């Protein structure tokens, strides 16, 4: 172990810069990684301690598997991949520079799938709650296992930490929260919807501005309860 640590500490950390996750096969378990710009959805399962006490490890493990199934299917449909980050969270990664639409629509489809479409499948798990925080930035991934499964990478980046912090501020029915950086770069299609108010069709903002503390600084995030059908192709 001492010899291995000495070798690693003296080695230069090399990385591949790409938005193609399939290139994970080109890195190894030593000082190498994969670097990309991406939009991050931090999906958090709330009430984790309560769920374990109330339902036990087997049931909670089953729920985690069910969530993974839904997230992976929608991620694949919308151009992302899922990373099983921890027992109560997932990263959904959308590689690319600054096209936030696929990630926003993916989050809205996840909210629809879990709170409506497949609600009955989770009905026997009382106290089950989730939220999603989103940010954009650069991330670095390194292998933690010898295979090329993208779920087995460890990812690092300030945008992951910020997305996690934003998810902490979100809860039913506002399942989705985004950083101000994402919000201010959204197209009108993803910010405004039409509703009839007293019989008159009006444009309405679908996001709500919320203040929160991030690294001891007052910031703003934007929450929405907007959802999209999982088969939406818009």
pLDDT tens for 142-163 read 877 655 556 678 899 999 999 9
Q: What is the pLDDT of residue 138?
A: 97
Continuous segment of H or E residues that includes residue 81: strand 81-86
Going along the chain from its start, the domains and CATH numbers come out as 33-224 (3.30.70.1230)
Share of the chain above pLDDT 70, in %: 96
Contact 194, 203 (CB under 8 A): yes
Contact 91, 105 (CB under 8 A): no
- Pick the closest to residue 229 from 98, 78, 87 (CA basis): 78
Continuous segment of H or E residues that includes residue 5: helix 2-10
Q: Please count the CA atoms within 13 angstroms of the CA of 13 that sit on its side-chain side.
A: 9
Q: What is the pLDDT of residue 39?
A: 97
Q: What is the pLDDT of residue 151?
A: 61
Phi, psi of 2 (to 5 degrees): -60, -40
Stretch 96-120: mean pLDDT, rounded?
94
Stretch 204-229: mean pLDDT, rounded?
95
Residue range 115-136, pLDDT digits in tens: 999 999 998 888 999 999 999 9
**Cβ-based neighbours of 189, under 8 Å, separated by 6 or more:** none
Q: What is the pLDDT of residue 24?
A: 83
Work out the mean pLDDT of the chain and round it to a whole number. 90
Contact 95, 19 (CB under 8 A): yes
Stretch 58-62: mean pLDDT, rounded?
93
Q: What is the pLDDT of residue 168?
A: 96
* Nearest-angstrom CA–CA distance, 223 and 225: 7
The structure tokens listed for 229 are 């059908």
Stretch 60-66: mean pLDDT, rounded?
93
Q: Which of 13-27, 46-60, 138-152 has maximum average pLDDT?
A: 46-60
The structure tokens listed for 151 are 């779920």
* Nearest-angstrom CA–CA distance, 2 and 227: 52
Confidence tier at 22 by pLDDT (50, 70, 90) = confident
């Amino acid at each position: 172990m001492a010899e291995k640590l000495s070798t690693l500490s003296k080695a230069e950390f090399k990385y591949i810069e790409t938005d193609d996750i399939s290139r994970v096969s080109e890195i190894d378990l030593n000082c190498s990684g994969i670097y990309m710009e991406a939009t991050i959805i931090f999906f958090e399962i709330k009430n984790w301690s309560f769920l374990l006490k109330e339902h036990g490890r087997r049931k909670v493990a089953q729920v985690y598997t069910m969530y993974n199934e839904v997230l992976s299917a929608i991620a694949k449909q919308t151009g992302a991949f899922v990373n099983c980050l921890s027992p109560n969270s997932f990263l959904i990664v959308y590689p690319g520079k600054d096209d936030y639409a696929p990630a926003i629509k993916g989050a809205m489809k996840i909210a629809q799938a879990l709170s409506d479409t497949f609600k009955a499948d989770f009905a026997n798990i009382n106290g089950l709650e989730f939220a999603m925080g989103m940010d954009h930035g650069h991330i670095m991934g390194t292998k933690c296992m010898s295979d090329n499964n993208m779920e087995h990478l460890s990812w690092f980046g300030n945008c992951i930490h910020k997305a996690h912090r934003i998810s902490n501020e979100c809860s039913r029915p506002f399942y989705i929260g985004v950083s101000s950086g994402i919000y201010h770069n959204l197209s009108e299609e993803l910010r405004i919807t039409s509703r009839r108010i007293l019989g008159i069709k009006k444009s309405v903002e679908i996001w709500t501005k919320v203040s929160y503390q991030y690294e001891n600084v007052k910031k703003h995030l934007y929450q929405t309860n907007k959802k999209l059908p999982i088969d939406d192709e818009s």
